[in-house]
Structure 1
Amino acid sequence: MTGASEGRLDRADWNRLIEILTEHSAQGPDTRCLAYYTPLGQGAEDFDNLHVRAGRLADAKALYDHPDEEWWTPPNFWAHDRSWILCTDYDLWATKVVGPASLVEVLLGDPEIEAVRLPWAH
C-alpha cells in the first residue's frame, strides 16, 4: 500500500477526520458542509466553472471516491456554519484544521491521526 499523493489525504486519515468532525459538530452527521476543489488539475480553461459541492457531513466519506475529482480530496472542506475548516495544502503535503479548542485537542490526542499544533503567526 502506498501513502497519499500530494494534495490528498489517505483514505484512513480522511475517514477518521470525518468521524471526529461528526462527533464535534453541532448537527453531527446532518451538519451541512461545503467542499471546494481546485481546478488546477483539470486545466486553466476550467477556472470559470464552479468546483464547490454541498452536502451533509454523513456523506463526506464518499468525496474520497468522487468520479469527477479523482486526484485530490477537497483542498478546502468546511462546515456551513463555519465552526471548522480543513485546508489540504498541495505544496506542503499537509492538512490544516481550524476549529474550536475541543476539536483541536481531540485531533492532537487521537492515536490514528498524526497532528501537531502550529504556532500562531504574529
Structure 2
Amino acid sequence: MKVVIYRVGQNQYATPVESIQSIERMLPIRPVPGAAAHVLGVANLRGSVIAVSDLRKVLNVEEQAFTPESRLLISNGNGYVVDEALDIADCADDAWEHVGEQKVWQRGDQLIVWEDLQA
C-alpha cells in the first residue's frame, strides 16, 4: 500500500494515499464560533468551503505556530493541518504492528504511527 507520511510535533504519521485528495499550502482560515476545540475554522479551497482541523489538538501535541512547512492534508472534504508533509512511500500491509491501540511501522530508524483521517 502507498501512504502519505507527515510530521505532527516530533512524531511521524501515515495515512493511506487513497484517503488523501491533495496536500496544500496553508490557506486563510476563518474561525467558526462554537466549533469543537480541534476545529480551527473554514477555508476556501478552489471554490469549495472545507472545515479545517488542527491535528496537533486532535493528537494532544503541544500547540505551535504554523511555519512555511505547515500543510493541509485534504481528506474527505476536510483539511487537516500538519507540521510538514514528508513523503509518499510504499509499505507492505504486514509491516504494521499493533502496539496497544496504535498501529506502528518501523521504517529505518523512524517509528511511524498510523492515523486514519476518515474515522
TM-score class, shorter-chain normalisation, is: under 0.3
Higher helix share: 1
- Between 1 and 2, higher relative CO (CA 8 Å, sep ≥ 6) is seen in 2
By percentage of residues, which structure has more strand?
A: 2
TM-score by length of 2: 0.24
TM-score, normalization by structure 1: 0.23
